[in-house]
A and B are shown apart, each in its own frame.
Chain A
Amino acid sequence: MIVYVARRMVTAVFMLLSIAFVTICLFFGASKDPARAMCGKPCPPETRAKVSAYMQTDQSAVWQYVEFVKGLFVGRTYGTGAQQVHCPAPCFGYSFPNRSDVTTLIAERLPVTLSLALGAAILCLVVGIGLGALSAIRKGGIVDRFSTGFAMFGLSVPTFLVGLLVLQVFGFMLNALPYSGFVSFSESPADWAWHLIGPWMVLSFILAAGYVRVTRTQLLNELSADHLVAMTARGASNRQVNRHAVRGVMVPVAAMFALDVTALLGGSVIAEKVFSLHGLGDLLLSGVNESDLSIVVGVTLFSAFLIIVGNLVADLLMPLLDPRIRRA
């Protein structure tokens, strides 16, 4: 077990290093000069070169990569003298447009995205599994027909459209929910949840569809499974049999959720945009728009880190649900 975790960690580190390299190369391939945005107007060539040298964007992608990795461990210093900026380790780069190191920026934005993603994850699991289970138990009933339609709709409609619809209906037409803003949990848990209900609905709506389908199919399979009949034939009570059926449903749901960590972060970019929340997705978008290399690399890498950790946790939890994996 420990060997397994260690091996996974080493793989994860290499994966992150490769992701950083690819992101930096892609960024420079885009042939947008980050110095151009910083130097203001008018921007004579010599000033631009100076700015570029100061921001260290005049170097090659490989050099950038080496500096970046070095910065992660020992920190990084930009410029000299009065203009010197130091970015302490672990340095994900320094964002000149924001006048702040990326680590601080991510730390600022993280609570928003985490609140959004975790809440949406819980809502999507509750709604998805709940609806799926109900439609399997009463197959062909009203709930089943409703949730089949719901799942079709959820699978086929893009996030931004759902976002705008929710915003329009609940925010503007019914005036029932706030249409933007974020209140931190520590400040007021009630307000925190109140402001996030809209984004949660949007984000979980899309994802819940998949869980409705998987739960319904899997539970239907389990309910007619021979091994459950066999268990009854051994003298097990209904409750014992049902507990066993739940396990059969949870295994694929857990596997699916591990993959959906990615979708959750990706979807939050759009949900944050629609609801004007200043989270990681919003930070990444602004970084792309302002050609801010440090932010793009930093946020990309951090998101990749979250996804890898999420998958690792899922992989470690899976054997608890499905003992067959323990042996592999």
Chain B
Amino acid sequence: MPDPVLQVEDLCVSFTGGGVTADIVRDLSVTLYGGRTLAVVGESGSGKTITGRAIMRLLPRGASARGRIVVAGREMLSADERELRRARGSDVAMVFQDSMSALSPYLDIGAHIAQAIRLHNPSVTRRAARARAVEMLDRVGIPEPADAVRRFPHEFSGGMRQRAVIAMALVNRPALLIADEPTTALDVTVQAQILALLRELQREYGMAMLLISHDFGVVGSAADEVLVMYAGRQAEYGSLRDIFDQPAHPYTAGLRAATPRLDVRREIGGERTRLRAIPGAPTSLRDAGPGCAFAPRCGLADQVGERCVVEAPLPTVRPTSEVGGLHLAACHLDRLPAPQEVAS
């Protein structure tokens, strides 16, 4: 097996503000190979975006990361400013959720892409960079690219803008693409197109993709592996099939049950089954106790008893349906009961 494109070991991100320090990401470890897509799933505040930012060392003020992050052979956490600049946009690029705010209102689309090129290849002339931008816009499926290159972000539709952002991110052929909710701001038909485009370009360039999403539908259509995060921790990790077919963490199972599915008839025995919401809200990271962060919302914590409250579960190996696959879940329960048992 070749070297992984992304290797994260024991990543901790903590936030200091107002004299209080909170861990927003804890003990995260991930390995991702070229051509593969890892989806990071979780609700708002689970630390998935921060994880993506930490990989590029784009953390907001007051946040600091510990552990080890290796992108395409480069140690990101110990890299100096110059090395970081070289890595950003070249080894690892990012696609943001809101394409409007991710683009400068004062630059036209061509200038954005040309900037991405020239920041890493100063010898390329402006004219050549813009010509390359036209090619790239054409590649991501923007009609009349020669004309589009001179347009400003506000003159594009949301879908076109996201295509332009993708063109900008991929123009230097990064080994790793971090896509932070790339389709959340788009309507459903456009979502599917953008996902298909990302998959296609990924295959073409052989790059690895870290897909950050809260949407199981998006994950199901694009991911190879899935990392489910809860309260900054790894709740479950496994192949898409394992996560979907045999989730080993109650939170994953809860997310699945809360996602509408078109492939399952929601009418069993004449009675309509409802989508189930996970009760409660994520716990505050600041007053996290020693136990499992999900315990207060977990319907199964009673079955385990006190252990869930006093001891944080570590990821342990679970059964997998893939050959050589890895399936981890951080839960004290060895096996989740079948769905009907949960419901009762």
> Which residues in A have some Cβ–Cβ distance to B below 8 Å?
225-238, 244, 247-248, 251, 322-324, 327
Query: Is B128 part of the contact surface with A, judged by Cβ < 8 Å?
Result: no
Q: How far is the CB of A135 from chain B (nearest CB, A)?
A: 17
Contact among A230, A238, A251, A323 with B102 in the assembled complex (CB-CB below 8 Å): A230
CB distance from A51 to the nearest CB of B (A): 62
Q: Which residues of A contact B152 (CB under 8 A)?
A: 323-324, 327
Please provide the chain B residues from 71 to 92 with a CB less than 8 Å away from any CB of chain A in the complex: 81, 85-90
Alpha-carbon distance between A228 and B102 when the two chains are bound, in angstroms: 8
Distance between B2 CB and nearest chain A CB, rounded to angstroms: 25
Q: Are A235 and B106 in contact (CB under 8 A)?
A: no
Kindly state whether residue B186 has any CB partner on chain A within 8 Å: no
Contact B115 A236, beta carbon cutoff 8 Å? yes
Q: Which residues of A lie under 8 Å from residue B85 when comparing CB positions?
A: 235-237
Given contacts A225-B101, A233-B58, A235-B116, 17 further A-B contacts (CB under 8 A): A226-B98, A227-B103, A227-B105, A229-B96, A230-B96, A231-B115, A233-B93, A234-B88, A234-B89, A235-B86, A236-B119, A244-B104, A244-B106, A247-B106, A251-B106, A322-B106, A324-B154
B102 and chain A: residue at smallest CB distance: A230
Would you give 25 A-B contacts (Cβ < 8 Å), ordered by A? A226-B96, A226-B98, A227-B101, A227-B103, A227-B105, A228-B104, A229-B96, A230-B94, A231-B115, A232-B58, A233-B58, A234-B89, A235-B90, A235-B120, A236-B115, A236-B119, A237-B81, A238-B81, A244-B106, A248-B105, A248-B106, A251-B106, A324-B106, A324-B152, A327-B152
Complex contact A231–B104 (CB within 8 A): yes
How many residue pairs link A and B with beta carbons under 8 A? The number is: 66
Q: Chain B residues with Cβ under 8 A from A232's Cβ?
A: 58, 88
- 8 pairs of A and B residues whose beta carbons are closest in the complex: A235-B89, A226-B101, A234-B89, A230-B102, A235-B119, A235-B88, A227-B104, A233-B94
B92 to A, closest residue via Cβ: A233
Instruction: Name the B residues within 8 Å of A244 (CB-CB).
Output: 104, 106
Q: Assuming the A-B contacts A234-B119, A237-B85, are A229 and B90 also in contact, with contact meaning beta carbons closer than 8 angstroms in the complex?
A: no
Closest chain-B Cβ to A126's Cβ sits at a distance in Å of 24
Asked whether any CB of chain A lies closer than 8 Å to the CB of B168, the reply is yes
Rounded to whole angstroms, the CA-CA distance of A233 and B108 in the bound complex is: 18
Is B331 an interface residue when CB atoms closer than 8 A count as contact? no
What is the distance, in angstroms, from B76's C-beta to the closest C-beta of chain A?
13
Nearest chain B CB to A266 CB, angstrom units: 32
Chain A residues contacting B94 (CB-CB under 8 Å) are 230, 233
